[in-house]
Chain A
Amino acid sequence: MRNHVAAAHHVALHRHHHRQHATHAVHRPVNRFLGLPLGVAIALVWANTVPEPYFRLAQSLSFGVNDIGMALFVGLIMQEIVEATMEGGALHSWRRWTLPLIAAAGGIAGSAGTYLAYVNGRYEAILSTGWPIACAIDVAAAYYVLKAIMPRSGILPFVLLLGIATDLFGMLIVAVWRPAVAAPEGGAALLLVALGLAGAMRTLKVRAFWPYLAICGPLSWLAFFRDGLHPAFALVPIVPFLPHEPRKLDLLADPPDDDAVHHFEHEWNTLVQVVLFLFGLVNGGVILKGYDTGTWALMLAALVGRPAGILAAIGLALAAGWHLPGRIGWRQLVVAAYAASTGFTFALFFASGILYTGPLLAQLTIGALATAVGPLLAIGIARLAGVGRFSRAS
């Protein structure tokens, strides 16, 4: 009898753990990435029903969200990359980077080339300035759609590296983009002070994260702002000074809650969610009939140019003697290329950093939102080609 009860208890416990695991798997992406789409959805409804109050609020929040709040988001991204590139981290070996880097270069060339060809072919050269937006990859979307299709495939780290490399390139462009800002105003000196303080804290083995952020962060922000760099990137030079732990390439997974660094990341996650919600709310609202040439250019670039560029670059690399990770073939690559075709979060971020209020921003915002169909295309292709969970053998 006791054995029977124990067995029943064991089964119940197993079921509970299983349910808990499944719930956790669903909650993880929802907790970390739902803020932005939720903000965008509210903004879209609002902008298309009572536009004037929406745009008034969006413009009044724009600086606080895009230039201050988003520094937290960029800082968090930087934190993940720094840890992954440390010794023992998944990105430490440059050999792993080579093929994804080649694929990223192909994707950038494909998307930027397609975008520029389209807008210039339509004689709307003024839209040319938006080409970095066409390069953006929503790494989270790519990751989760591929994880859903091919949960244990080597394609996951490959696409993560591709996405990170592409977005780093885009972020570099956006950080230095603001050409119209006045001449440097002593930002370099301020940045040196911030770095010096961060270095001193590191030497003194300060484990708490907040002194780095509360003291060095604002100084760095002011330095970026005064010298015409996008201040949302202000934490990028500070984050490497924080104490870190090497990270396996599961960048989007929850980190272990066992030290000051990860404590910092846990605390930040809530704030970043709030910031991303506000970012979606401020930047995602667009009157839908504002679509125009830029919208089509961006969609074409993301959904055709980028996959074509990625696949062409990989083809060339293979012809030159590189090898794909094990058990990855062209069908998996096509699915992966389409999983990476959505720009969404990063496209919105790049757009807000490059363009100012007005019709150009509106049409490119619609394009950035519309690239959200990329993951659906990836699932459709996977289904047609029998890839991953759609494999005919399984």
Chain B
Amino acid sequence: MRRAVVILAVLLSAGGFAPAAQNPALQGPVPSRVEGPAPSRVEGLPARSDSLKFAVIGDNGNGDKTEYDVGQQMAAARAKFPFDMVLMLGDNMYGRQDPQDFVTKFERPYAALLQAGVLFYASLGNHDNQNNRFYKGFNMGGERYFSYVKKNVRFFVLDSNVLDPQQRSWLDEALGRAREDWKICYFHHPLYSDAGRHGSDVSLRVTLEPLLVKHGVNVVFSGHDHIYERIKPQKGIAYFVAGSGGELRRGDTHPSGMTAAYFDQDNAFMLVEVAGDELFFEAVARSGTTVDSGVIRRQANQTGATQ
């Protein structure tokens, strides 16, 4: 018995986020409660000349009409908001992933953007073949997880399918080294989500969140759930689920106390602008309607918490 106790003992030892106003065009049910300071309404994005502008899509690569429609809408949005990069949140390709599929599920739907020189930076989802990281159009440099800098923002792209210790160590180190004003992470599986099908990946959250908080990550984008959802800041980090870039699970959101806004009636993508200490965002439906918008403010002396 004493041995059992000894073994047991060994085993045991072993940014500023201002919620946006609910957009009148929001087609899904509107959450009844918004915490925090009075929301500052943002009408459109400032589109400043020196800002970083990018779009965000997730769960897009089904090759269906919905993906093509979203692609067209993104191209149309670019006329007014000239973004030059797109973050892909995984499931960039569904079904067969032969060379022809890269044409029908990626190159054609986003042809206008690709021709204009827009760069896509992909993360891997559960439907993506891991070898797709070598595909030039996804700009992953052959890596499952990597980091890159654009203006005053450092992006951290993770492979949430397999969060092995090596990836965790890499993230810890890379985040610790980052000196840019903004730290933005994106990966496929959401740490927070109110979707009914998958929802929050709590085991992943318990592993990842302490690192994100410790190193002052400002914003996290994920997909996997085929909806758009903005989560109220969690431990100072703004979370978005943007997994309806091609796939859609209509009516799948079950808003909770952490829901800031959501849209699950049609496909959607996001437009984001980082200008100094402010990050402006818009969620745009396949129809072109803005369904959510707002601004996240970064504190100058930020060490992790957004306000």
Contacts and interface: CB of A to CB of B under 8 A. Distances in A.
A359 B206 contact: no
A55 B126 contact: no
A183 interface: no
Contact of B126 (A69, A126, A275): A126
Contact of A123 (B4, B95, B162, B164): B95
B3 interface: yes
Interface string B148-184: 0000000000001111111000000000000000000
A370 interface: no
Interface residues of A, number: 39
A193 to B, nearest CB: 22
Interface string A212-247: 000000000000000000000000000000000000
Contacts of A51: 202-203
A125 to B, nearest CB: 5
A68 B14 contact: yes
A55 B203 CA distance: 6
B5 to A, nearest CB: 9
A321 interface: no
Contact of B1 (A63, A270, A293, A355): A270
Interface size class of B (residues with CB under 8 A): 35 or more
B205 A289 contact: no
A355 B204 CA distance: 13
Contacts of A63: 14
Contacts of B198: 289-290
Contacts of A292: 126
A3 interface: no
A394 interface: no
A357 B10 contact: no
B256 interface: no
Q: Which of A51, A63, A270, A275 has the most CB atoms of chain B within a 10 A radius of its CB? A: A51
A70 to B, nearest CB: 10
A355 B1 CA distance: 33
A359 B201 contact: yes
B11 A362 contact: no
Contacts of A64: 10-14
B33 interface: no
B249 to A, nearest CB: 13
Nearest to B199: A289
B14 A274 contact: no
B208 to A, nearest CB: 9
Contacts, number: 108
Interface in B187-207: 189, 196-199, 201-207
A358 B189 contact: yes
B290 to A, nearest CB: 31
Contacts of A270: 1, 4
Interface of B is mostly: loop
Interface string B274-293: 00000000000000000000
Contacts of A274: 4, 7-8
Given A64-B10, A180-B166, A357 B3 contact: no
A55 B206 contact: yes
A64 B129 CA distance: 34
Contacts of B3: 267, 271
Contacts of A293: 126
A154 to B, nearest CB: 38
Given A55-B203, A180-B166, A358-B162, A124 B7 contact: no
Nearest to B196: A289
B206 A52 contact: yes
Interface string A32-76: 000000000000000100011001101101011100110010000
A56 B205 CA distance: 10
A124 B126 contact: yes
Contact of B203 (A65, A180, A275, A358): A358
B97 interface: yes
Contact of B127 (A55, A58, A124, A267): A124
B126 A356 contact: no
Interface of A: 47, 51-52, 55-56, 58-59, 61, 63-65, 68-69, 72, 123-127, 180, 267, 270-271, 274-275, 278, 287, 289-290, 292-293, 355-362
12 contacts: A47-B202, A52-B202, A55-B202, A59-B203, A64-B11, A126-B162, A274-B8, A289-B199, A356-B165, A359-B161, A359-B189, A359-B201
Report the 8 A-B pairs with minimum CB-CB distance, sorted nearest first. A64-B14, A64-B11, A51-B202, A55-B206, A356-B164, A55-B203, A358-B163, A357-B207
Interface of B: 1, 3-4, 7-8, 10-14, 94-97, 124, 126-130, 160-166, 189, 196-199, 201-207, 224
